Structure 1
Amino acid sequence: MLRRKRVWIPGVIILASGVLLLIGSLFSPEIRAFMAIDQSDGQPDMPYPDNVAAVKDIAYPTENYDGRLDFYYPEDAQGALPIVIYIHGGGWVGGDKEAQNPFTMWIASEGYLVVNVNYGLAPEYTFPSQLYQLNDAISFALREAPRYDGDTERVFVGGGSAGANLAGMVAAMATNPTTESVIGENSALQPDQLKGALLYNGVLNLEQAQQTGFNNMTTFLWSYTGNKDFIDDPRLRDMSPVFQITPDYPPTFISSGETDKLHSQSVEMADELDAAGVEVERMFFDASHPAAGHEYQRKLYLEEAQYSFDHMIDFLRTHSE
Structure 2
Amino acid sequence: MSLQSLSFRLMAGHSDAKRDRGLNAAPDDILRINDIPYGPDVKWNTLDVYRLRNLKGKLPVIVNVHGGGYVYGSTKQYQFYCMDLARRGFAVVSFNYHLAPKFKFPTPIFDLNLVMEWICKKAGIYGFDTDRVALVGDSAGAQITSQYAVICSNPEYAEVMEVTPPDFRLRAVGLNCGMYDLRKRASEISENKLMIDYFTEHPAVYGKKLDVLDYVTGKFPPAYLLSAKGDFLMDQCEPMAKLLMERGVPCEYKIYGDEKTGHVFHVDMRSDLARKANDDEIAFIKKYM
Same fold (TM over 0.5): yes
Give how far 1:317 is off. 2.0
Mapped to 2, the partners of 1:157 and 1:151 lie a distance apart of: 14
CA contact (8 A) 2:44 2:96 kept: no
Mapped to 1, the partners of 2:218 and 2:125 lie a distance apart of: 33
Q: Which deviates more from structure 2 when the two are superposed, residues 178-187 or residues 271-280? A: 178-187
CA contact (8 A) 2:39 2:45 kept: yes
Which residue of the partner structure matches residue 313 of structure 1? Answer: 282
Pair 146,83 (structure 1): closer, same or farther in 2 beyond 3 Å? same
Normalised to the residue count of structure 2, the TM-score between the two structures is 0.88
CA contact (8 A) 2:82 2:92 kept: yes
Pair 74,117 (structure 1): closer, same or farther in 2 beyond 3 Å? same
Give how far 1:253 is off. 1.1
Which residue of the partner structure matches residue 82 of structure 2? Answer: 104
Mapped to 2, the partners of 1:71 and 1:197 lie a distance apart of: 19
Across the two proteins, how many residue pairs are aligned to each other? Answer: 285
Counterpart among 229, 245, 269 of residue 240 in structure 2: 269
Normalised to the residue count of structure 1, the TM-score between the two structures is 0.80
- The aligned amino acid for 1:162 is A
Name the Cα RMSD after superposition.
2.7
- In the TM superposition, what are the counterparts of 1:1-321 in structure 2 within 5 Å? 28=2, 30-31=4-5, 37-38=12-13, 40=16, 42-43=18-19, 45=21, 46-47=23-24, 50-62=28-40, 66-190=44-168, 193-209=169-185, 218-225=192-199, 227-230=200-203, 233=204, 235=206, 238-239=209-210, 241-285=212-256, 289-320=258-289
Mapped to 2, the partners of 1:113 and 1:240 lie a distance apart of: 32
CA contact (8 A) 1:207 1:237 kept: no
- The aligned amino acid for 1:284 is I
- The aligned amino acid for 1:40 is D
Q: Mind listing any 5+ residue stretches in structure 2 that lack a counterpart?
A: none
Give how far 1:207 is off. 3.5
CA contact (8 A) 1:257 1:292 kept: yes
**Per residue, is there more helix in 1 or in 2?**
2
CA contact (8 A) 2:153 2:217 kept: yes
Pair 241,252 (structure 1): closer, same or farther in 2 beyond 3 Å? farther
% identical equivalent positions: 25
Alignment partner of 1:72: what SS? strand
Q: Which deviates more from structure 2 when the two are superposed, residues 246-255 or residues 76-85? A: 76-85
Give how far 1:94 is off. 0.8
Q: Which deviates more from structure 2 when the two are superposed, residues 305-314 or residues 288-297? A: 288-297
